[in-house]
């Protein structure tokens, strides 16, 4: 069959064969001495620019992503071409989404951003109330007499409201006396203080709670010993919305 296509293909094949023979010819007779190396260089000097150019093209092509291996990914079960991760099973989506929904808190929950001193009362994606609060100061208190150390951080994590109280009574812990330069009293009744915690308190466990304050002007600053302080109105709203078991997320 004659024609321009045949001629073109034959021409291509001819040049392909010639080019393919070049590397073989270049190393067919390995130069062994200086004279042979000089002869080799005289014969092949014209290849140097080509080799340099080819190397530059390879580096640039690799860098620019022009050269790509045309991968295709086949699902071994169906034989259908898919993406690298496979096509996936749509029926898997719903159980995963349901499992995620089940993990989300039901009903109102409390979120505390302790660095920014903000408390959010939320339900689902909605913010029901945003309040300015105060969180732990980060102070380290050392009792040089007994060697005890307290770190006044608000803990991060998930807590639950364990108890709700109206007009809570504060049983002052040892650090509250040490901080004032006093020795903790022996009698428990000497530790009782009324009104310090405000109108309500939500107990989170380990001595941490959300409570009120006598110093509302300090709200928004990190001044507490680890508890969360709220203003009067916000505390009432949070107290009314929260139930025993309500999740409190502190970050």
Residues within window 47-106 making contact with other proteins, judged by CB under 8 A = 59-60, 62-66, 80-90, 92-93, 96-97, 99-100, 102-105
**Hunting for tokens 């709700």 — which residue is that?**
164
Q: Kindly tell me which residue out of 26, 128, 141, 165 binds other proteins, with binding defined by CB under 8 A.
A: 141
Q: Cβ of residue 207: shortest distance to other proteins, in angstroms?
A: 20
Q: Kindly tell me which residue out of 26, 139, 165, 237 binds other proteins, with binding defined by CB under 8 A.
A: 139
Residues near other proteins (CB under 8 A), total: 71
228 binds other proteins (CB under 8 A): no
Q: Kindly tell me which residue out of 161, 201, 210, 222 binds other proteins, with binding defined by CB under 8 A.
A: 222
In the complex with other proteins, the residue whose CB is nearer, 137 or 196, is 137
Q: Cβ of residue 7: shortest distance to other proteins, in angstroms?
A: 10
Q: Cβ of residue 166: shortest distance to other proteins, in angstroms?
A: 27
In the complex with other proteins, the residue whose CB is nearer, 174 or 199, is 174
**Hunting for tokens 């009744």 — which residue is that?**
189
Q: Which of residues 145-204 bind other proteins (CB under 8 A)?
A: 145, 156-158, 177-184
Q: Which residues contact 105 (CB under 8 A, 6 or more apart)?
A: 246, 247
Which segments of 104-198 does DSSP mark as H helices, in order?
Answer: 174-178
Q: Cβ of residue 188: shortest distance to other proteins, in angstroms?
A: 18
Q: Which of residues 103-132 bind other proteins (CB under 8 A)?
A: 103-105, 109, 111, 113, 115-117, 120, 122, 124-125
Q: How many CA atoms lie within 13 A of 48 on its CB side?
A: 7
H-run or E-run covering 9: helix 4-28
**Alpha-carbon gap, residue 96 to 83, rounded angstroms:** 21
Q: Among 37-45, 140-148, 199-207, 234-242, which window interacts with other proteins (CB under 8 A)?
A: 140-148
In the complex with other proteins, the residue whose CB is nearer, 9 or 25, is 9
Q: Kindly tell me which residue out of 4, 49, 70, 79 binds other proteins, with binding defined by CB under 8 A.
A: 4
* 119 three-state secondary structure: strand
Q: Which residues contact 131 (CB under 8 A, 6 or more apart)?
A: 118, 119, 120, 121, 230, 231, 234, 237, 238
- Show contacts of 150-153: CB within 8 Å, 24+ apart: 150/175, 150/178, 150/225, 152/224, 152/225, 152/226, 153/226
**Alpha-carbon gap, residue 250 to 114, rounded angstroms:** 7
H-run or E-run covering 7: helix 4-28
Residue 239's φ and ψ, nearest 5 degrees, are -60, -40
Binding mask of the shown chain, residues 11 to 50, with x at each position contacting other proteins by CB under 8 A: ----------------------------------------
In the complex with other proteins, the residue whose CB is nearer, 31 or 124, is 124
């Amino acid at each position: 069959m004659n024609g321009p296509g045949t001629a073109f293909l034959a021409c291509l094949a001819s040049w392909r064969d010639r080019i393919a023979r070049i590397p073989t010819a270049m190393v067919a007779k390995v130069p062994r001495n200086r004279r042979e190396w000089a002869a080799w260089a005289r014969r092949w000097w014209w290849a140097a620019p080509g080799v340099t150019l080819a190397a530059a093209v390879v580096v640039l092509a690799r860098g620019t992503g022009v050269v790509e291996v045309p991968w295709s990914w086949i699902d071994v079960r169906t034989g259908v071409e898919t993406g690298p991760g496979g096509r996936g099973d749509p029926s898997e989506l719903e159980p995963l989404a349901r499992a995620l929904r089940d993990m989300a808190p039901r009903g109102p929950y409390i979120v505390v951003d302790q660095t920014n001193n903000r408390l959010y009362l939320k339900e689902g994606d909605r913010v029901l109330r945003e309040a300015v609060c105060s969180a732990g100061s980060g102070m380290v208190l050392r009792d040089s007499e007994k060697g005890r150390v307290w770190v006044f951080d608000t803990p991060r994590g998930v807590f639950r409201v364990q108890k709700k109280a109206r007009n809570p009574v504060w049983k002052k812990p040892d650090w509250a006396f040490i901080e004032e330069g006093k020795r903790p009293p022996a009698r428990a009744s000497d530790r009782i203080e009324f009104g310090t915690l405000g109108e309500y308190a939500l107990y989170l466990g380990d001595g941490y709670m959300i409570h009120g304050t006598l110093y509302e002007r300090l709200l928004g600053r990190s001044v507490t010993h680890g508890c969360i302080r709220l203003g009067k109105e916000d505390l009432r709203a949070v107290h009314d919305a929260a139930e025993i078991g309500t999740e409190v997320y502190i970050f």
